[in-house]
């Protein structure tokens, strides 16, 4: 039983931290999580103080005569109402507001390819692989010069990456733990998500939605390049795509026209 081995240098708390945040905005989710946790722990401690404290103070041995009250006097109702209101105002409204701000200011603020530097990628999920499509030199999707990769997503740093995703067969979910975001890929629909990645390296892309027997194997590699390295890879891939893409290959023909 390895887990009983106390000489393991990293503590469980350390182990259960989420993986390295490689994006500009992942910290918003981490900090909201931390904030919610602090509030939850605060209220849970109050519950525990009541639960264990009262159990200790008012056990049969210590307190033979219970107080005869229905808890429906005005002051009781005021205290209960105060607790209800305090929880709602201090926790719920707060985290709802913060989350909503993050959505409006960041996660739902879709980058505009016309006005900023954006890499667009089309993603198609199927049992059990991820396919990625870059527009290629003509900047149009669904054309013969598209670069298509399987289970291999490469992106540059300092660039917003805008994904449009769909699925061929069943529902999958495009989850990159290192950027803290996931979005379902749904047959018959196009969903979207954007993020950026600022720390070069290799990371996991996983499928988070149950999609069949080999759901657990549906992983792809995310490679984050520096901008120069990405340009180099892109140039090679474009050449390769021009030379090898067969326009009659039905497996390559899944791209769609990029809208909105």
Tell me if 184 contacts other proteins by CB under 8 A.
Answer: yes
Of residues 223-242, which lie at the interface with other proteins (CB under 8 A)? Answer: none
Q: With CB under 8 A as the contact rule, which of the stretches 145-153, 188-196, 224-232, 236-244 interacts with other proteins? A: 188-196
Give CA–CA dist 70/79, Å, rounded: 14
Q: CA-CA distances (angstroms) from residue 239 to 11, 47, 86, 160, 242?
A: 49, 64, 62, 24, 5
Return the residues of window 21-60 that contact other proteins according to CB under 8 A.
28-29, 32-33, 36-37, 39-40, 43-44, 47-48, 50-51, 54-55, 58-60
User: 8-26 burial, b if ≥16 CB within 10 A, otherwise e?
Assistant: eeeeeeeeeeeeebbbebb
Distance CA 140, CA 133 (A): 11
Stretch that binds other proteins, among 139-147, 149-157, 173-181, 236-244 (CB under 8 A): 173-181
| Residue 9 engages other proteins in binding (rule: CB under 8 A) | no
Verify binding: residue 129, other proteins, rule CB under 8 A.
Answer: no
Strand arrangement, sheet containing 160-167: 147-150, 129-134, 118-126, 160-167, 191-195
The residues in 73-112 that bind other proteins, with binding defined as CB under 8 A, are 76-77, 79-81, 83-88, 91-93, 95-96, 99-100, 102-103, 107-108
Check binding of 208 to other proteins (CB under 8 A): yes
Minimum Å gap between C-beta 248 and other proteins is 18
């Amino acid at each position: 039983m390895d887990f009983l081995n106390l000489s393991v240098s990293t503590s469980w708390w350390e182990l259960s931290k989420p993986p390295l945040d490689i994006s500009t905005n992942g910290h918003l989710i981490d900090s909201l999580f931390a904030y919610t946790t602090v509030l939850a722990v605060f209220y849970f401690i109050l519950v525990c103080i009541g639960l264990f404290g009262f159990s200790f103070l008012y056990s049969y041995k210590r307190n033979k005569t219970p107080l005869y009250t229905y808890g429906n006097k005005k002051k009781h109702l005021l205290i209960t109402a105060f607790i209800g209101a305090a929880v709602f105002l201090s926790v719920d409204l707060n985290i709802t507001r913060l989350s909503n701000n993050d959505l409006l200011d960041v996660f739902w603020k879709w980058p505009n390819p016309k006005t900023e530097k954006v890499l667009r990628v089309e993603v198609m999920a199927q049992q059990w692989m991820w396919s990625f499509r870059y527009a290629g030199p003509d900047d149009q999707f669904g054309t013969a010069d598209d670069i298509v990769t399987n289970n291999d997503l490469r992106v540059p740093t300092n660039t917003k990456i805008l994904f449009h995703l769909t699925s061929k067969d069943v529902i999958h979910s495009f989850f990159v733990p290192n950027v803290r975001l996931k979005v379902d890929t749904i047959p018959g629909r196009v969903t979207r998500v954007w993020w950026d990645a600022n720390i070069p390296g290799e990371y996991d892309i996983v499928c988070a939605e149950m999609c069949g027997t080999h759901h657990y194997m549906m992983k792809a590699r995310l490679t984050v390049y520096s901008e120069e390295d990405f340009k180099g890879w892109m140039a090679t891939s474009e050449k390769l795509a021009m030379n090898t893409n067969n326009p009659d290959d039905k497996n390559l023909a899944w791209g769609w026209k990029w809208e909105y």
